[in-house]
Amino acid sequence: MPRPSDLAAIIEQGDTEHWVSRAACGDLPLDRLDMFFVDAGRSLSKEAAALCRTCPVRTECLDHAETRDIAGGYFGGVSPSKRRADRRHDQAATD
Ligand code: SF4
């Protein structure tokens, strides 16, 4: 089986969630997906931010990270630190 070269190929080969097939970043080669994982203190590139801003599955992407407690990377255009802050805020509201 050939190695998948982008998200669309992974989706075809696996049982990845359906929303990924509509992702704005879905046609990017796998080696470009690291643009969504930036070092602490650095911002998302303009290109990546624009993809997330126009992505039709932003909500699903963010939910994916939040429900799985994914620590790194921008999901739904939201930084890891913002997700942590939101989680703390939500937790404080329920305490
Ligand atoms: S919100 Fe951004 S990272 Fe998430 S699927 Fe869309 S383009 Fe990709």
Q: Is the CB of 52 under 6 A from ligand 1?
A: yes
Query: Within 10 Å of residue 2's Cβ, how many Cβ atoms?
Result: 6
Could you give the CA distance from residue 34 to residue 38 in angstroms, rounded to a whole number?
8
Q: Ligand 1: distance of its center to the CA of 31 in Å?
A: 15
Residues lower than pLDDT 50 in the chain: 1-2
C-beta of 75 in contact with ligand 1 (< 6 A): yes
Q: Is residue 20 part of a domain?
A: yes
Question: What is the number of the ligand 1 atom nearest to the C-alpha of 51?
Answer: 7
Q: Whose CA is nearest to atom 3 of ligand 1?
A: 75
Q: By residue range, what is the domain housing residue 76?
A: 7-94
Q: Which of 81, 14, 7 is nearest to 42 (CA)?
A: 81
Residue 41's pLDDT is what? 84
Structure confidence at residue 60 (pLDDT) = 92
Domain count, the chain: 1
Q: Could you tell me where the DSSP H helices lie in the chain?
A: 7-13, 46-54, 58-67, 80-94
Between the CA of 57 and the centroid of ligand 1 the distance, in Å, is 7
Residue 2 domain-assigned (yes or no): no
Q: In this predicted structure, what is the pLDDT of residue 15?
A: 53
Residue 1 located in a structural domain? no
Task: Look up the pTM and report it.
Answer: 0.81
